[in-house]
């Protein structure tokens, strides 16, 4: 009887170890945001076709937000502040493998540009994205401490979905004409390489400016710093470090 119990305990321990081994897919210090706060909406663009490249980027094997553990805890705190206001964060991108950054670089230099891709940089060529500061050969995203995100009104009708076959207006157009993203109107779409995307742009409405200011303020209260050329981009100083290249795999 005692031997049977011991055997059962050994089997149970082995099973738990096996589960833990399967779940441990991330380097130390990284977490899936969904495991920290499942209420935060995720729309990880580079895992699909709804992005400026028009296809999944290398390393995005799953549409999951992966972040440094401390970053995830702070995002949970932001979400807890927003929830009573019927608002939610929506994540567009989190940790980004360096192979995905290299994929962006190669795309920007391939000499080709489709009308669908042009929606994201209507005022200039994609070859100018580096010079103008919209794409970099090294990204803070690869450290797990940079984020692309927006706000969602939970009581609004966010049912419109992206149709890859539809001819949408460019990312600076009226919210009813550009591709839908189920979030508040920030004045441009996500990843819009244009001066209108600058956080303090003068060419947006008062309501759009209030939404941007609200996002910046709620993030700043947790120490996040906004990138002035992209209203959606935030980083946490001191939480970065080395760049990583592990793929974003499905959660177990």
Strand, coil or helix: what is 46? helix
Return the structure tokens found at 47: 């895992």
Q: Is position 37 annotated in a ligand binding site?
A: no
Return the structure tokens found at 163: 């149709």
CA distance 26 to 4: 36
DSSP one-letter string for 88-136: EEEEEE----HHHHHHHHHHHTSS---HHHHTTSTTS-GGGTTTTTS--
Residue 230 a catalytic site member:
yes
| CB-CB contact of 66 with 30 (8 Å) | yes
Q: Is position 148 annotated in a ligand binding site?
A: yes
Q: Is position 198 annotated in a ligand binding site?
A: no
CA distance 57 to 66: 15
Q: Which of 70, 81, 113, 230 is catalytic?
A: 230
Sequence ranges of the binding site: 141, 148, 233
Sequence ranges of the binding site for Zn(2+): 141, 148, 233
**Which residues participate in catalysis according to the annotation?**
230
């Amino acid at each position: 009887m005692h031997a049977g119990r011991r055997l059962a305990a050994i089997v149970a321990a082995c099973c738990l170890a096996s589960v833990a081994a399967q779940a441990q897919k991330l380097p130390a210090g990284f977490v899936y945001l969904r495991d920290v706060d499942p209420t935060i909406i995720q729309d990880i663009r580079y895992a699909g076709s709804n992005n400026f490249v028009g296809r999944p980027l290398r390393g995005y094997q799953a549409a999951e937000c992966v972040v440094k553990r401390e970053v995830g805890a702070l995002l949970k705190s932001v979400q807890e502040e927003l929830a009573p206001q019927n608002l939610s964060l929506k994540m567009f991108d989190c940790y980004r493998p360096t192979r995905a950054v290299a994929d962006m670089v190669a795309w920007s230099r391939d000499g080709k540009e489709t009308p669908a891709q042009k929606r994201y940089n209507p005022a200039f060529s994609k070859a100018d994205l580096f010079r103008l500061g919209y794409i970099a050969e090294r990204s803070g995203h690869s450290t797990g401490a940079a984020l692309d995100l927006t706000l969602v009104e939970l009581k609004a009708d966010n049912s419109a979905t992206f149709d890859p076959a539809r001819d949408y207006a460019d990312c600076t157009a009226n919210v009813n004409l550009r591709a839908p993203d189920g979030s508040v109107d920030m004045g441009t779409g996500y990843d819009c390489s244009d001066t209108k995307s600058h956080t303090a742009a003068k060419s947006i409405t008062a309501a759009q400016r209030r939404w941007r200011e609200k996002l910046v303020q709620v993030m700043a209260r947790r120490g996040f710093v906004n990138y002035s050329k992209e209203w959606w981009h935030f980083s946490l100083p001191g939480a970065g470090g080395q760049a990583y290249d592990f793929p974003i795999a499905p959660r177990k």
